[in-house]
């Protein structure tokens, strides 16, 4: 019966026009397959400020992402994993957005060896984040945030890009050095990284931290149960994680929610199953 709620939530998420996506490794010890534990993955999609959904996949290839995102058209934000960008290039209905948190992390990691050059990049990226913080503090609408980004963020982005191009071709920074790798990483993904500041993208975050935060409960779980015992168990775990995390996001006690909702599912109109999801339940039991 939880699957009915899970599927309603999945359709709701895919019916929107903005998603963030991430994945995390989990060991699969399949009794039907001889040999060592296989590397499998929990994939997570979320609508920032909205809902979250876990998905179990036997691998990290594009076919899993395509299955999970089937029917979705809109803005997709992720880290630098190439699958998402290539997926968007093959699908005219998808627009890919990058994550500045990942780019910034690489420059921070290069500070020790990169000195003043690395520090310059970190400082400029921090300027982008300060602009976002001001927009958050003012609770700006997506339209107003896009206006601010056009006026303030775009000039900073232009300066960062010019420096990236100069450093990349100067021969002054070794490509194999931490800073050289950070420069190449950011420049390679530049189109997706600067896209958030474009007109009409005010609802898109500067990074995909919300989905990374949503994926953390599974990391805690892995320390306790170590591996998944069967592919079917993997998807059942994804369903349970989804329901529990949805409850947490919306301030709902999972036990109280399930006790109330489970007896109602089978008799509830299939067209109104979304009314039983944690977000809607919280509104009616507030």
Of 99, 63, 49, which Cα lies nearest the Cα of 78? 99
pLDDT for residue 34: 65
Question: What does the pLDDT average to over 75-92?
Answer: 92
For residues 23 and 41, is the Cβ–Cβ distance under 8 A?
yes
Q: How confident is the model at residue 24 (pLDDT cuts 50, 70, 90)?
A: confident
Structure tokens at 172: 């002054």
Q: What are residue 77's phi and psi, to 5 degrees?
A: -115, 140
Structure tokens at 53: 């959904």
How many CB atoms lie under 10 A from the CB of residue 110? 23
Q: Is it the case that residue 225 has pLDDT exceeding 60?
A: no
Question: What does the pLDDT average to over 65-80?
Answer: 93
How many CB atoms lie under 10 A from the CB of residue 195? 16
Domain boundaries, the chain: 2-96+209-284, 100-197
pLDDT for residue 94: 95
Of 84, 167, 171, which Cα lies nearest the Cα of 124? 167
pLDDT for residue 2: 86
pLDDT for residue 214: 78
Question: What does the pLDDT average to over 172-188?
Answer: 96
Q: How confident is the model at residue 201 (pLDDT cuts 50, 70, 90)?
A: very high
Say if residue 91 is exposed, middle or buried (CB neighbours under 10 Å; 0-12, 13-18, 19+). middle
pLDDT for residue 33: 62
Q: Is it the case that residue 105 has pLDDT exceeding 60?
A: yes
Residues 6+ away with beta carbon under 8 Å from 135: 144, 145, 148
DSSP, res 37: P
Q: What are residue 213's phi and psi, to 5 degrees?
A: -65, -35
pLDDT in tens, 12-22: 999 999 999 99
Q: Is it the case that residue 36 has pLDDT exceeding 80?
A: no
Whole-structure pTM value:
0.90
For residues 177 and 168, is the Cβ–Cβ distance under 8 A?
no
- Token match 């199953």: residue? 273
């Amino acid at each position: 019966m939880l699957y009915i709620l899970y599927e309603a939530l999945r359709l709701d998420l895919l019916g929107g026009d903005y998603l963030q996506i991430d994945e995390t490794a989990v060991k699969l010890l399949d009794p039907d397959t001889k040999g060592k534990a296989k590397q499998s993955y929990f994939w997570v999609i979320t609508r920032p400020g909205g809902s979250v959904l876990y998905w179990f996949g036997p691998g990290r290839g594009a076919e899993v992402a395509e299955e999970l995102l089937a029917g979705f058209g809109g803005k997709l934000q992720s880290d630098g994993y190439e699958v998402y960008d290539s997926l968007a290039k093959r699908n005219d209905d998808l627009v890919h957005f990058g994550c500045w948190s990942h780019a910034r992390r690489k420059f921070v990691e290069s500070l020790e060896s990169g000195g003043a050059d690395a520090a310059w990049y970190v400082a400029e990226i921090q300027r982008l984040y300060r602009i976002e913080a001001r927009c958050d503090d003012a609770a700006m609408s997506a339209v107003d945030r896009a206006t601010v980004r056009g006026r303030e963020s775009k000039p900073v982005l232009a300066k960062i890009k010019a420096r990236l191009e100069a450093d990349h071709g100067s021969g002054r920074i070794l490509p194999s050095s931490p800073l050289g790798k950070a420069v190449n990483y950011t420049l390679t993904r530049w189109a997706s990284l600067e896209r958030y500041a474009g007109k009409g993208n005010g609802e898109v975050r500067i990074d995909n931290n919300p989905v990374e935060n949503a994926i953390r409960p599974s990391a805690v779980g892995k320390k306790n149960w170590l591996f998944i015992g069967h592919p079917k168990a993997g998807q059942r775990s994804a369903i349970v994680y989804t329901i529990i995390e949805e409850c947490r996001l919306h301030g709902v006690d999972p036990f109280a929610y399930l006790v109330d909702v489970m007896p109602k599912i089978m008799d509830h109109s299939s067209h109104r199953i979304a009314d039983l999801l944690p977000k809607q339940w919280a509104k009616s039991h507030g």
